[in-house]
Amino acid sequence: MYSNTEGQEPKDRTQRRLAAALRAVLPSSVTLKISASEHAFDATMRIGSHRLSVRWVGRGGFREVQDVLRSSHPPDVIVGSELSRAARTAASEAGIGWLDETGAAEIVIGDIVVSRSGEPRRDAVVTRRWTSSVVGVAESILCGVTPTVSATAEATGHSTSSVAHALATLSELGLLESPAPRGRNSGRRVADPDRLLDEYAQVAVRLRPKMELRCGVLWREPFVLLEQIGERWDHADIGWAVTGVMGASMLAPYLTETTTGDVYVDAASLPELHNIARSVDIEPLDGGRLVLRPFPTATSKRLATKTDGIRVAPWPRVYADVRQVGVRGEEAAEHLREVLRDR
């Protein structure tokens, strides 16, 4: 299904993606014009008698969409690669239409309604170059480790060869850059901290082990309970660190209700998860509020910090995990980013 397009076919890659996303969703009767226009809108389109302004929002995370919605001249429709749930909700609540490259869309103009559910993307292309060591190195850099082989090897515990490969991969992906090809100014540095965090977070959750064990606990005072359980794990020399909503609440309080406790522990199999749970006298329970998972990377374990008696996973890992907890989770993640990224 193709729209009528005024003028020449757009040559810029972003413009081509924008045009393709719009054409895939909109009726063929829609007139589409792709060009820079007043207020830097990326396109205009006409649906019936309505002329609508369109803006490309990149990946389409909550932060990017919020920035567009707060602008002095917000568009009528936003388009992104894969808008998050929070981004879609924010746009809808602001009365702005949206669509993305998955084919999902929601545009309401007068009596005209365009609504599609879309098809989630496959993970293979996104994660192909992101090995566990690349994720761990990116996590350490986001925590402030200098992106050199020696510094990141010490922080992550990976070999110098795997770290060198990870740094090269991040450079090839455009996430690290060198001011000069060689010499005293040739050291790598982060090209765009926000982009590095976004791409790391997107892949980190997809590569996280799927294995988990839910346990039944009394949840009246979750932070007190986790501190008590953690002390017993510490005495048994079992590594652990809180993540998700509870971790975000420790690092940058935002959400007032903690419904589950997501905890990484030093385990590599489901029997080990069971043993770690039983070492502190807690039992598996379907729907239990304490969720145990293996550490996703060595970096997540090594760079965990202790706050008020509770070990917390590195903030980029917490950011990646809490983004998965619905719209409020994405809001808490962006709050965490604002509080911790410049420290």
- What's the CATH number where 142 sits? 1.10.10.10
Q: Which residue has the tokens 């917490």?
A: 318
Do 68 and 152 sit in the same domain of this protein? no
Do 269 and 193 sit in the same domain of this protein? no
Residue 285 has pLDDT above 60, yes or no: yes
Do 233 and 324 sit in the same domain of this protein? yes
Q: What is the pLDDT of residue 342?
A: 60
Q: What is the pLDDT of residue 333?
A: 87
pTM of the predicted model, to two decimals? 0.76
The model's confidence at residue 321, banded by pLDDT at 50, 70 and 90, is very high
In the chain, the percentage of residues whose pLDDT exceeds 90 is 38
Residue 8 has pLDDT above 80, yes or no: no
Let me know: does 342 contact 272? Beta carbons within 8 Å. no
Do strands 189-190 and 31-34 pair parallel, antiparallel, or not at all (unpaired)? unpaired
Do 185 and 248 sit in the same domain of this protein? no
Residue 109 has pLDDT above 60, yes or no: yes
Higher pLDDT, 165 or 85: 165
The model's confidence at residue 170, banded by pLDDT at 50, 70 and 90, is very high
Q: What is the pLDDT of residue 58?
A: 84
Do 200 and 217 sit in the same domain of this protein? no
Mean local confidence (pLDDT), 306-329: 89
Of the residues 177, 206, 235, the one at which a domain ends: 206
Residue 265 has pLDDT above 80, yes or no: yes
Do 271 and 332 sit in the same domain of this protein? yes
Mean local confidence (pLDDT), 89-101: 89
Of the residues 117, 152, 169, the one at which a domain ends: 117
Mean local confidence (pLDDT), 95-109: 88
- Where does the chain show beta strands of DSSP type E? 4-5, 31-34, 43-47, 50-56, 77-80, 97-100, 104-109, 112-117, 176-177, 189-190, 213-216, 240-243, 261-265, 283-284, 290-294, 305-307, 310-312
Residue 44 has pLDDT above 70, yes or no: yes
Q: How far apart are CA 236 and CA 9, in angstroms?
A: 65
In sequence order, what are the beta bridge partners of 34? Answer: 43
Let me know: does 217 contact 226? Beta carbons within 8 Å. no
Do 84 and 176 sit in the same domain of this protein? no
Mean local confidence (pLDDT), 190-197: 89
Q: What is the pLDDT of residue 282?
A: 93
Mean local confidence (pLDDT), 277-285: 93
Domain that holds residue 322: 209-340
Mean local confidence (pLDDT), 208-229: 90
CATH no. for residue 27? 3.40.1350
The model's confidence at residue 37, banded by pLDDT at 50, 70 and 90, is low
Q: How far apart are CA 250 and CA 144, in angstroms?
A: 19
Of the residues 161, 190, 206, the one at which a domain ends: 206
Do 213 and 199 sit in the same domain of this protein? no
Residue 183 has pLDDT above 60, yes or no: no
Any residues with CB less than 8 A from the CB of 38 and at least 6 apart, and which?
none
In sequence order, what are the beta bridge partners of 240? Answer: 265
DSSP 84-95: -HHHHHHHHHTT
Lowest mean pLDDT among 161-165, 182-186, 205-209, 261-265: 182-186
Q: What is the pLDDT of residue 255?
A: 66
Q: Which two tokens stand for residue 237?
A: 């020399």
Mean local confidence (pLDDT), 35-60: 77
Let me know: does 162 contact 299? Beta carbons within 8 Å. no
Any residues with CB less than 8 A from the CB of 257 and at least 6 apart, and which?
none
Mean local confidence (pLDDT), 21-35: 78
* Region of 242 on the Ramachandran plot (φ > 0 left; ψ -120 to 50 alpha; else beta): beta
Do 240 and 324 sit in the same domain of this protein? yes
CATH no. for residue 321? 3.30.460.40
First-to-last alpha carbon distance for the chain, in angstroms, is 49
Residue 185 has pLDDT above 50, yes or no: no
Do 97 and 70 sit in the same domain of this protein? yes
The angle subtended at Cα 203 by Cα 197 and Cα 208, nearest 5°, is 120
Q: What is the pLDDT of residue 125?
A: 47
Q: What is the pLDDT of residue 7?
A: 44
Do 214 and 333 sit in the same domain of this protein? yes
Q: Give long-range contacts, CB 8 A cutoff, 24+ apart: 222-228.
A: 222/246, 222/258, 222/261, 222/289, 223/250, 223/258, 223/308, 223/310, 225/261, 226/261, 226/263, 226/310, 227/308, 227/309, 227/310
Q: How many domains does the chain have?
A: 3
Q: What is the pLDDT of residue 325?
A: 80
Q: Which two tokens stand for residue 44?
A: 């205009």
Residue 215 has pLDDT above 90, yes or no: yes
Residue 36 has pLDDT above 80, yes or no: no
Mean pLDDT of the chain: 84
DSSP 174-189: TSEE-SSSSSTT---E
Do 182 and 284 sit in the same domain of this protein? no
